[in-house]
Amino acid sequence: MLDLLVIGAGLTGLTAAYTAAKSGLRVKVIAKGLGAMHWGAGTLDILGYLPGEEGAVKRPLAAISQLPDGHPYRLAGDVAGVLATFVALTEEIGLPFQREVGRRLTQINADSENLLLPSPVGAARPAFAAPVGQLGGDLSRPEPMLIVGFTGLRDFYPQLIAENLTRQGYPARAAFLPLAVVSGRRDNTAVSIARELDNPDQRQKLAQALRPLLKPGERVGLPAILGLDDHMQALADLQGLMGTAVFEIPTLPPSVPGMRLFRALEERLQRLGVRVEVGMEVTGANRGWRPETRDSQSPISNLQSPISIEWVETETSARPLKHRARAFLLATGGILGGGFESDVNGRVWEPIFNLPLTAPQKRSGWFRPAFLDPQGHPVFNGGVAVSPDFRPVDGAGRPLFANVWAAGGLLANFDPILERSLSGTAVVTGMAAAQAIVEHVKCEP
């Protein structure tokens, strides 16, 4: 039997599975589909903004003490320690996350400052660490930027980026290359171009076309297309050929940096004997018990002692398939990641274990009037309340199940959009919950 079944194949689920499998647990990951990593920037974002405060956070680890008590980072405790483990994992899978090009990230502490990297619209985007391919865009560097797009690539707008960066005091200008330089395809996405640039000949062609555009002293910003399977080599080749820093700016989805990270993590898990099975939607748990009530007042919260989940079942082409495990980690994401369902009236529920949610249960309570309200929106702050060891709890703080944990975007008491903390909380809570599960499983007879 499995020791741990992880439900959800986003950054939370995969890092949790890695932590548990490294500690010797038998682990499997199941997911309905591929997750939010394919939409994100592929950087490690710990804390970019504090609710209600103007301006970006400078020292994210120091700022954690200003977060409310129930915030996932406050529960996790040793945030820096967990992050160091994640950084080591990125090195292990060949996509090292760093803060300065070529310098291994070994020191993570309260003094560590956020980087500012160009966003897809040319904003200064706070990130704690990034894959080396994005570090050349560090806005604290003095070199002016040449932002190069491709005519006909729909998901990248170099003039918008250059203009916005310049307006904020970061000198940048835009240029275009014909798509034919990197692709013979009729229709292109960032992913299809990235595949083209897995081929060294295509990198040569790109460098040749770029060289005449470049002025001395400039660095080059490209959409995130520098290879899919052979990214590190593609990056090194292009920087070598250009003789200057070349960096990637994330595009509209699908995100090539996110896809690279997903594929590398999945491959690492496979080598640890962990299967990642996608296309599996959980429809029920335990003895055929299904979440029928949509009330936040879940019937299970009335139980005196926590019950154990024996199995969850997924829908198949015919009868449901049971997945038995000693422990279950729910990492299905929040309202944006697909972990919650809702109806037109604004009711929100968690469909697998019917866990109680702190989210507002009326549509009128979801949003504040201003789209960019510095307090964020209540619906993003709502989620599953957990104990300090990441077990879902009832209103009185008692664990609801003896063997269910929850981590990532579905957790209550934080707003990953406002805080720009989605990947950081994913890694920190995923790995911390997995640690708690390891201790639990190893203590059990």
Partner 1 sequence: MHTKSWHSVGPSLDACIKCNICTSYCPVTAVTDLFPGPKYVGPQAQRFRENGQPHSPDHSVDYCSGCRVCNEVCPTGVKIAELNARARAQIVAENGLPLRNRLLGRNETLGKLAQIAPRLANLSLHNPVSRVLAEKVMGIARHAPLPRFSESGTFGDWFQRTQHERLKSDKKAVYFHGCATMYYEPFVGKAAVAVLEHNGYEVIVPPQNCCGLPLLSNGEFDEAAKYHSNNVNKMRIYAQAGLDIVGTSTSCTLTLKEEAPELLDAFDEGSNQLKMATWDIFEWLRERYEAGELKTDFRRMEMVLPYHAPCQYRAHRVGKPALDILRLIPGVDVRESHARCCGIAGTYGYKAEKYQIGMDVGAELFDFVAEQGDVALTACDSETCRWQLEHGTDKPSRHPIEILAAAYGLYELNGRDVVHS
Of the candidates 55, 65, 186, 443, which one interacts with partner 1 according to CB under 8 A? 186
Give whole-number Cα distances, 3 to 6, 75, 89, 102, 286, in Å: 10, 24, 22, 38, 16
Nearest approach in angstroms of CB 223 to partner 1 is 14
Q: Which of residues 71-100 bind partner 1 (CB under 8 A)?
A: none
If one asks whether residue 110 binds partner 1 (CB under 8 A), the answer comes out as no
Count residues near partner 1 (CB under 8 A). Answer: 32
Rank residues 275 and 290 by Cβ distance to partner 1 and give the closer one: 275
Helix (H) or strand (E) holding 437: helix 422-443
Binding mask 195-234 for partner 1 (x = CB under 8 A): x---------------------------------------
Of the candidates 70, 254, 365, 378, which one interacts with partner 1 according to CB under 8 A? 254
Nearest approach in angstroms of CB 254 to partner 1 is 4
Under 8 Å between Cβ of 335 and 348: yes
- The residue range among 36-44, 58-66, 116-124, 354-362 that interacts with partner 1, by the rule CB under 8 A, is 36-44
Antiparallel, parallel or unpaired: β 97-98 and 115-118:
unpaired
The closest of 343, 272, 281 to 313, measured between CA atoms, is: 281
Nearest approach in angstroms of CB 258 to partner 1 is 10
If one asks whether residue 187 binds partner 1 (CB under 8 A), the answer comes out as yes
Q: Which of residues 279-308 bind partner 1 (CB under 8 A)?
A: 279-281
Helix (H) or strand (E) holding 323: strand 321-330
Rank residues 77 and 178 by Cβ distance to partner 1 and give the closer one: 178
DSSP SS3 for 315? coil
If one asks whether residue 180 binds partner 1 (CB under 8 A), the answer comes out as no
Rank residues 186 and 287 by Cβ distance to partner 1 and give the closer one: 186
If one asks whether residue 378 binds partner 1 (CB under 8 A), the answer comes out as no
Nearest approach in angstroms of CB 30 to partner 1 is 8
Of the candidates 61, 179, 222, 259, which one interacts with partner 1 according to CB under 8 A? 259
Of the candidates 113, 198, 310, 315, which one interacts with partner 1 according to CB under 8 A? 315
In degrees and rounded to multiples of 5, residue 235 shows phi and psi of -65, -50
Q: How far apart are CA 61 and CA 83, in angstroms?
A: 11
Antiparallel, parallel or unpaired: β 275-278 and 27-31:
parallel
- The residue range among 82-90, 111-119, 317-325, 395-403 that interacts with partner 1, by the rule CB under 8 A, is 317-325
Token pair for 431: 């790995």
If one asks whether residue 344 binds partner 1 (CB under 8 A), the answer comes out as no
- The residue range among 84-92, 139-147, 187-195, 207-215 that interacts with partner 1, by the rule CB under 8 A, is 187-195
Under 8 Å between Cβ of 92 and 268: yes
- The residue range among 78-86, 112-120, 271-279, 426-434 that interacts with partner 1, by the rule CB under 8 A, is 271-279
If one asks whether residue 271 binds partner 1 (CB under 8 A), the answer comes out as no
- Residue 227 zone, left/alpha/beta (φ > 0; ψ -120 to 50; rest): left
DSSP SS3 for 60? helix
Nearest approach in angstroms of CB 438 to partner 1 is 24
Of the candidates 202, 244, 314, 358, which one interacts with partner 1 according to CB under 8 A? 314
Nearest approach in angstroms of CB 186 to partner 1 is 4
Token pair for 214: 């470049």
In degrees and rounded to multiples of 5, residue 424 shows phi and psi of -65, -45
In degrees and rounded to multiples of 5, residue 181 shows phi and psi of -60, -40
Handedness of CA 252, 332, 327, 283 (dihedral sign): negative
Rank residues 195 and 420 by Cβ distance to partner 1 and give the closer one: 195
Handedness of CA 311, 312, 314, 318 (dihedral sign): positive
Would you call the peptide bond into 254 cis, given omega within 30 degrees of 0 as the criterion?
yes
Of the candidates 215, 271, 287, 319, which one interacts with partner 1 according to CB under 8 A? 319
Give whole-number Cα distances, 260 to 97, 226, 379, in Å: 13, 11, 30
Which residues form the interface with partner 1 (CB under 8 A)?
A: 32-36, 38-39, 185-187, 189, 191-192, 195, 253-254, 259, 270, 275, 277-281, 314-319, 321, 338
